[in-house]
């Protein structure tokens, strides 16, 4: 964040939420990284006076927050939308227990799937778990709403969900610093079994309370100032929330708007009055017809998903054009261009594994992380990817389905953070129920995809301080894996030998690919020596090109060019290493059989 005037700061929605947590007096915060939520915790960890941590997964993170709340602290759990699926078990019952200190779960949804495997609409969780949910529209709202969420949580004895989307998290705007809440009660142990011990007899009691609480919350929603009517032209009236509100304001600046800061539960009276005050009612929301369904259930007629898409992000043009029914005619059409998808970095250790897998003819059950990029050409070495941790269990299931010779047809590939997240449970199953599918753990010592977060195996805490680093090899052995191999993935031919040996085994086996992410600070600080091509030796075999390294490129020869340059007439071209981009991993050199790639100091 950057100060621009007295008290006014320029910051992202995620930075604003971190500041909001500090101003609300949050004492304990736990989360698991995931775009677009990650920077909330990263920023919060830089403040004094609040305990922050990366949990191994979202379920653990939420449970830590529940514990802190039980001990009387204001507590926060942050995660991306799919993380709430992992945390759903504690979430649904925490709805019954309620809270001691205020408890907020921030769910960061990703409409359009900028960095996600699905675009689920987590407002449905508020309905299903019977919890209040606030939905800010921009960074300034985000900070205020988080503070409101804590007050509500304590007043109504309930966890509160706060839903943001990519265009709140990663949008920057002007935010004003506010007062830090004082007088939050001190922490301590209070035993309240009827609230904290959710066995059937007691849960039934709390079940009744949940309904009473939601009734109270609905009443409060009628008068709360986060649900506001903005007066205006009543020919068209809009009910909206979250970022959709911003698009409505730009598309129909004259119109009256009911902005719902709380998207669950809904203020029925207020909605009825608003509906009655306008000629035509439009509900504008991203993704599911959530508000629309519940408004229609009140017997109120409105437009919604009959006009507005239920997939992807909205924007001002989509909102205006869906409602007015006409498209801007004079837009330039896109020009076809070669795609520029993201790629693994030059020197990425994952590349050495996938280059080999692309040649081994196995089904690669993949997982989520930087390594998912191995799906793209030229490696094209991932055959499935569902959710975090699933690679190992899916490979096991396939091996069981394939029967006796399944064990050498399927491998799973999983990152260190993802293995800690939920992969370890799956590996227990592979051992317990005995399948020979090989598990490859890509240990690059960090959670790379989401921007370099520490994890339980990396040896550092969220603040970068020393922490116990779990020994992945020892853990696999403790689970009962008898065949554990550790390889240096940069030595491509050696890695191939080990992979072949492990895959051939009928018993469960694990190959740990151990080499640090090139984006780690210690890797960036080291002075990498670059490799270069002795082009006179290059025979154009393309072995190095097939690695798909961004530092290596191919120059095709024109008619007669090969001979003119002294190469064999049928040679199609030569490869070249960009020495600025090269990160000194040596995978290409380990593949080159013609002495055409040399490390700089070796010449």
Strand-by-strand arrangement of the 28-31 sheet = 51-54, 28-31, 75-80, 103-109, 160-165, 133-134, 262-264
Cβ atoms of 266 and 293 within 8 Å: the answer is no
- Cβ neighbour number for residue 115 with a 10 Å cutoff: 15
Q: How far is CA 365 from CA 342, 375, 439, 533, in A?
A: 21, 11, 9, 35
Token pair, residue 233, equals 């032209």
User: How many CA atoms are closer than 13 Å to the CA of 93, on its beta-carbon side?
Assistant: 15
- The correct pick among 138, 144, 443, 584 for binding other proteins (CB under 8 A) is 138
Question: Coil, helix or strand for 561?
Answer: helix
559-568 contacts, C-beta under 8 A, 24 or more apart = 566/536, 567/539, 567/540, 568/539
Nearest approach, Cβ of 515 to ligand TPP (angstroms)? 11
Q: Which single residue is written with the structure tokens 């090139």?
A: 518
Site for ligand TPP in 82-121 (CB under 6 A): 82-83, 86
CA distance 526 to 36: 30
Cβ atoms of 346 and 549 within 8 Å: the answer is yes
Cβ atoms of 571 and 540 within 8 Å: the answer is yes
Residue 83 vs 586, nearer CB to ligand TPP: 83
Contact between 528 and other proteins per CB under 8 A: no
Say if residue 80 is exposed, middle or buried (CB neighbours under 10 Å; 0-12, 13-18, 19+): buried
Contact between 39 and ligand TPP per CB under 6 A: no
Nearest approach, Cβ of 435 to other proteins (angstroms)? 31
Contact between 143 and other proteins per CB under 8 A: no
Residue 282 vs 371, nearer CB to ligand TPP: 371
CA distance 301 to 119: 27
- Which partner in other proteins, ligand TPP, none is near 86 (CB below 5 to 8 A by kind)? ligand TPP
Stretch 360-399: interaction string toward other proteins, x if CB under 8 A: ----------x--x--xxx---------------------
Nearest approach, Cβ of 448 to ligand TPP (angstroms)? 3
Size of the site for other proteins (CB under 8 A): 62
- The correct pick among 359, 553, 565, 600 for binding other proteins (CB under 8 A) is 553
- The correct pick among 405, 554, 579, 595 for binding other proteins (CB under 8 A) is 554
Contact between 449 and other proteins per CB under 8 A: yes
Nearest approach, Cβ of 113 to other proteins (angstroms)? 9
DSSP structural state of residue 241: -
Q: How far is CA 249 from CA 171, 245, 255, 322, in A?
A: 17, 6, 8, 15
Stretch 325-364: interaction string toward other proteins, x if CB under 8 A: ---x-xxxxxx-xxxxxxxxx-------------------
- Cβ neighbour number for residue 597 with a 10 Å cutoff: 23
Say if residue 400 is exposed, middle or buried (CB neighbours under 10 Å; 0-12, 13-18, 19+): middle
Q: Which single residue is written with the structure tokens 């191999």?
A: 485
Give the interface segment with other proteins, choosing from 4-12, 300-308, 350-358, 560-568 (CB under 8 A): 4-12
- The correct pick among 72, 102, 267, 548 for binding other proteins (CB under 8 A) is 548
Annotated ligand binding at 538? The verdict is: yes
Residue 398 vs 442, nearer CB to ligand TPP: 442
Contact between 171 and other proteins per CB under 8 A: yes
Cβ atoms of 142 and 86 within 8 Å: the answer is no
CA distance 348 to 518: 6
Site for other proteins in 41-100 (CB under 8 A): none
Nearest approach, Cβ of 97 to ligand TPP (angstroms)? 23
Bridge partners for 163 per DSSP: 107
CA distance 204 to 291: 29
Nearest approach, Cβ of 93 to ligand TPP (angstroms)? 19
Nearest approach, Cβ of 68 to other proteins (angstroms)? 28
User: How many CA atoms are closer than 13 Å to the CA of 492, on its beta-carbon side?
Assistant: 25
Closest CA to 442 of 492, 516, 360: 516
Token pair, residue 402, equals 């394939």
Stretch 351-380: interaction string toward ligand TPP, x if CB under 6 A: -----------------xxxx---------
CA distance 408 to 436: 7
- Which partner in other proteins, ligand TPP, none is near 82 (CB below 5 to 8 A by kind)? ligand TPP
CA distance 276 to 401: 59
Cβ atoms of 61 and 55 within 8 Å: the answer is yes
- Which partner in ligand TPP, other proteins, none is near 78 (CB below 5 to 8 A by kind)? none
Contact between 590 and other proteins per CB under 8 A: no
Nearest approach, Cβ of 17 to ligand TPP (angstroms)? 17
Cβ atoms of 508 and 439 within 8 Å: the answer is yes
Annotated ligand binding at 302? The verdict is: no
Site for ligand TPP in 446-485 (CB under 6 A): 446-450
Residue 442 vs 484, nearer CB to ligand TPP: 442
Contact between 426 and ligand TPP per CB under 6 A: no
Contact between 14 and ligand TPP per CB under 6 A: no
Contact between 115 and other proteins per CB under 8 A: yes
- Which partner in ligand TPP, other proteins, none is near 589 (CB below 5 to 8 A by kind)? none
Residue 448 vs 503, nearer CB to ligand TPP: 448
Strand-by-strand arrangement of the 280-284 sheet = 227-230, 255-260, 233-240, 280-284
Closest CA to 265 of 227, 217, 228, 206: 217
Contact between 215 and other proteins per CB under 8 A: no
Give the interface segment with ligand TPP, choosing from 28-36, 139-147, 237-245, 255-263 (CB under 6 A): 28-36
- Which partner in ligand TPP, other proteins, none is near 444 (CB below 5 to 8 A by kind)? ligand TPP
CA end-to-end span of the chain, whole Å? 48
Annotated ligand binding at 549? The verdict is: yes
Contact residues: ligand TPP, CB under 6 A: 32-34, 80, 82-83, 86, 368-371, 388, 415-418, 442, 444, 446-450
Q: Which residues are annotated as a binding site?
A: 538, 541, 544, 549, 582, 585, 588, 592
Contact residues: other proteins, CB under 8 A: 2, 4, 10, 12, 35-36, 38-39, 114-115, 138, 166-167, 170-174, 243, 245-247, 249-250, 313, 315-317, 328, 330-335, 337-345, 370, 373, 376-378, 449-451, 542, 545-546, 548, 550, 552-554, 556, 573
Q: Which residues are annotated as a binding site for [4Fe-4S] cluster?
A: 538, 541, 544, 549, 582, 585, 588, 592
């Amino acid at each position: 964040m950057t100060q621009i005037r007295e008290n006014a700061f320029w910051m992202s929605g995620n930075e604003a939420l971190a500041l909001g947590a500090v101003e609300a007096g949050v004492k304990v915060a736990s989360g698991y990284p995931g775009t677009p939520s990650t920077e909330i915790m990263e920023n919060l960890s830089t403040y004094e006076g609040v305990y922050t941590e990366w949990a191994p997964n979202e379920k653990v993170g939420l449970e830590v927050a529940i514990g802190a709340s039980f001990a009387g602290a204001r507590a926060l759990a942050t995660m991306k939308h799919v993380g709430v699926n992992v945390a759903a078990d504690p979430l649904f019952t925490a709805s019954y227990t309620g809270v001691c200190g205020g408890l907020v779960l921030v769910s960061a949804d990703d409409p359009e799937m900028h960095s996600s495997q699905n675009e689920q609409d987590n407002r449905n969780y508020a309905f299903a778990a019977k919890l209040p949910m606030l939905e800010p529209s921009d960074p300034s709202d985000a900070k205020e709403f988080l503070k409101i969420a804590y007050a509500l949580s304590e007043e109504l004895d309930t966890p509160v969900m706060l839903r943001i989307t990519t265009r709140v998290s990663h949008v920057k705007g002007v935010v004003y610093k506010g007062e830090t809440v004082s007088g939050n009660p001190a922490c301590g142990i209070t035993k309240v079994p009827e609230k904290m011990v959710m066995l059937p007899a007691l849960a039934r009691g709390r079940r009744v309370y949940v309904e009473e609480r939601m009734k109270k919350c609905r009443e409060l929603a009628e008068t709360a100032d986060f649900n506001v009517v903005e007066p205006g032209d009543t020919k068209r009236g809009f009910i909206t929330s979250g970022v959709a509100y911003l698009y409505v304001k730009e598309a129909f600046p004259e119109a009256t708007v009911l902005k719902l800061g709380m998207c669950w539960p809904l203020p029925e009276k207020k909605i009825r009055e608003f509906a009655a005050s306008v000629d035509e009612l439009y509900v504008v929301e991203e993704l599911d017809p959530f508000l629309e369904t519940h408004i229609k259930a009140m017997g109120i007629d409105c437009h919604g998903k009959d006009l507005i898409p239920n997939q992807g992000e909205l924007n001002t043009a989509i909102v205006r054009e869906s409602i007015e029914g006409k498209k801007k005619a004079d837009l330039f059409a896109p020009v076809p261009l070669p795609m520029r998808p993201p790629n693994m970095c030059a020197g990425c250790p994952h590349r050495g594994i996938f280059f080999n897998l692309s040649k081994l003819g196995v089904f690669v059950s993949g997982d989520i992380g930087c390594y998912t990029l191995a799906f793209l050409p030229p490696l094209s070495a991932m055959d499935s990817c569902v959710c975090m941790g699933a690679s190992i269990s899916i490979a096991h299931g396939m091996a069981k389905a394939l029967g006796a010779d399944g064990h050498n047809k399927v491998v799973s590939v999983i990152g260190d953070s993802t293995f800690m997240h939920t992969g370890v449970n799956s590996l227990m199953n592979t051992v317990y129920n005995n399948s020979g599918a090989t598990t490859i753990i890509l240990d690059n010592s960090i959670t790379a995809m989401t921007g370099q977060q520490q994890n339980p195996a990396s040896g550092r805490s969220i603040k970068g301080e020393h922490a116990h680093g779990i020994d992945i090899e020892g853990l696999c052995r403790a689970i009962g894996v008898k065949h554990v191999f550790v390889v240096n993935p940069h030595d491509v031919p050696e890695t191939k030998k080990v992979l072949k040996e492990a895959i051939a085994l009928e018993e469960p086996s694990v190959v740990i690919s151990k080499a640090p992410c090139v984006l780690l600070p210690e890797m960036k600080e080291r002075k990498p020596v670059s490799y270069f091509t002795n082009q006179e030796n290059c025979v154009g075999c393309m072995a190095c090109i097939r690695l798909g390294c961004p530092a290596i490129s191919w120059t095709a020869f024109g008619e007669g060019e090969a001979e003119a340059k002294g190469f064999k007439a049928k040679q199609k071209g030569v490869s070249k290493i960009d020495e600025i981009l090269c990160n000194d991993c040596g995978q290409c050199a380990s593949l080159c059989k013609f002495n055409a790639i040399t490390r700089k100091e070796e010449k």
